Amino acid sequence: MDAYTILIAEDDTSIRSVLRMLLESNGFAVIEASDGQEALDKVLEHMPDLVLLDVMMPRLDGHEVCHRIRASFTTRHIPIVMLTARAEPKDKLQGLQGGANDYVTKPYHNEELLLRVRNTLDWSRQQRAASPLTGLPGNHSINDEIRRRLATGTSLALLQVDIDHFKAFNDYYGYARGDQAIQLLARILTEAVARHGGPEGFVGHIGGDDFVVLTSPVCAEALGEEILDWFKSATQDLYDRADRDRGFVEVLSRRHVLERVPLMSLTIALVSTDRVPVTHLAELIDIAQELKAHGKGIPGSVLVGERRRRGDQDAPAERDVA
């Protein structure tokens, strides 16, 4: 396993040097930043496994850096351990409420600091370990994120994304190309959400070819339609030219009969809590599953919601949820 990379954001050169020696001697790779703005730049450039973040720094203080890391979909998963000389409970609470995972006061004991770093890294790995193929948060993190948002009472939109005819593609071309298809969809989702999903954007990998996107209801439908169009265009390159030209692959059915299976498409179930009031995770998932089952019966790529759907050949149509 590659060494964990830790970003030290500390304006005191001597403290930064001591921390580097301590971490490197214990097997960690180290990146340094001497102020808050540089820390943010290094986070985006290197995507470290953990940030050791001093509170008092020039340009941007540690609390603001922490806030900005947590506000971005691409960086919010990175664990943060705050470093400060302020030992008052109110100071610690400010850091923890701002999104820090842990808090270490100066002067610190080397053994304690290393233990807190390792414990935080272990926690982070467990949160993300459910999906080694895509690196996206797995079921546990997805459920926690949905519960957290429902608890705030703010409207949210959930898009449950599923690849149609993926099993046939996987059987026909093999697991390596099947993994490419899943990774391609993961990239499409993360990039589309990063561009258009706003700070509320979140992408999780349920498993296999199933994904979840969380965003604001305002941009959810447009985001879903972009994902459909992007996937349809991008997946063409995953097929051999002959299969792509004829629009299907031939695979053996369970009865050992050759069947023509269409090229992969997407079904996206969209649930917006501003349309259907939802207060519990199970209720939200039940609605999404019902919508997805309905969408699976529509040929081609489709975005199906509580009131209307958009398919490759279908005009938007009203649909009520029971």
Q: Is residue 192 over pLDDT 80?
A: yes
Per-residue confidence (pLDDT) for residue 318, from 0 to 100: 34
Per-residue confidence (pLDDT) for residue 312, from 0 to 100: 46
Per-residue confidence (pLDDT) for residue 96, from 0 to 100: 63
Distance CA 84, CA 6 (A): 17
Highest mean pLDDT among 159-168, 199-208, 313-322: 159-168
Per-residue confidence (pLDDT) for residue 315, from 0 to 100: 38
Helix/strand/coil for 204: strand
13-65 pLDDT, tens digit per residue, is 999 999 999 999 999 999 999 998 999 999 988 889 999 998 888 888 888 88
The side-by-side arrangement of strands in the sheet containing 202-207 is 202-207, 210-215, 157-164, 265-272, 302-305, 308-311, 317-318
Give Cβ neighbours of residue 248 (< 8 Å, ≥ 6 apart): 260, 261, 262, 263
Range of the structural domain that residue 80 is part of:
5-128
Task: Decide which of 128, 150, 175 is a domain's last residue.
Answer: 128
Query: E strands of 110-193, at which residues?
Result: 157-164
Q: C-alpha distances in angstroms, 115 versus 24, 26, 118, 119?
A: 15, 11, 5, 6
The token pair at 254 is 């369970």
Q: Verify that 71 and 204 share a domain, yes or no.
A: no
Per-residue confidence (pLDDT) for residue 197, from 0 to 100: 64
Per-residue confidence (pLDDT) for residue 278, from 0 to 100: 85
Q: Verify that 59 and 150 share a domain, yes or no.
A: no
Q: Verify that 18 and 162 share a domain, yes or no.
A: no
Q: Is residue 309 over pLDDT 70?
A: no
Give domain status of residue 211, yes or no.
Answer: yes
Q: Is residue 166 over pLDDT 90?
A: yes
Q: Verify that 162 and 302 share a domain, yes or no.
A: yes
Q: List the Cα angle 136/219/281 in 5-degree steps.
A: 55
Give Cβ neighbours of residue 128 (< 8 Å, ≥ 6 apart): 77, 135, 136, 137, 138, 141
Give domain status of residue 133, yes or no.
Answer: no
Distance CA 251, CA 240 (A): 15
Which element (helix H / strand E) includes 308?
strand 308-311
Domain count, the chain: 2
Q: Is residue 322 over pLDDT 80?
A: no
Give domain status of residue 87, yes or no.
Answer: yes
Please state the separation of Cα 282 from the chain's center in Å.
Answer: 20
- At residue 239 the predicted structure's pLDDT band, cuts being 50, 70 and 90, is very high
Q: C-alpha distances in angstroms, 17 versus 50, 129, 240, 293?
A: 17, 32, 54, 57
Give domain status of residue 174, yes or no.
Answer: yes
Distance CA 278, CA 285 (A): 10
52-104 pLDDT, tens digit per residue, is 998 888 888 888 888 888 887 678 788 999 888 765 656 556 556 667 888 88
Per-residue confidence (pLDDT) for residue 70, from 0 to 100: 84
Q: What's the rounded mean pLDDT across residues 127-142?
A: 73
Per-residue confidence (pLDDT) for residue 63, from 0 to 100: 86
C-beta separation of 56 from 84 below 8 A = yes
293-306 pLDDT, tens digit per residue, is 999 999 999 999 97
How many residues does this entry show for the chain? Answer: 322
Per-residue confidence (pLDDT) for residue 7, from 0 to 100: 95
- Kindly report the CATH number assigned to the domain that includes residue 88: 3.40.50.2300
Closest CA to 292 of 139, 161, 146, 142: 161
**Radius of gyration of the chain from its Cα atoms, rounded to whole angstroms:** 23
Q: What's the rounded mean pLDDT across residues 268-276?
A: 91
- Which region, left, alpha or beta, applies to residue 300 given φ > 0 means left and ψ of -120 to 50 means alpha? left
- Full-prediction pTM beyond 0.85? no
Per-residue confidence (pLDDT) for residue 98, from 0 to 100: 62
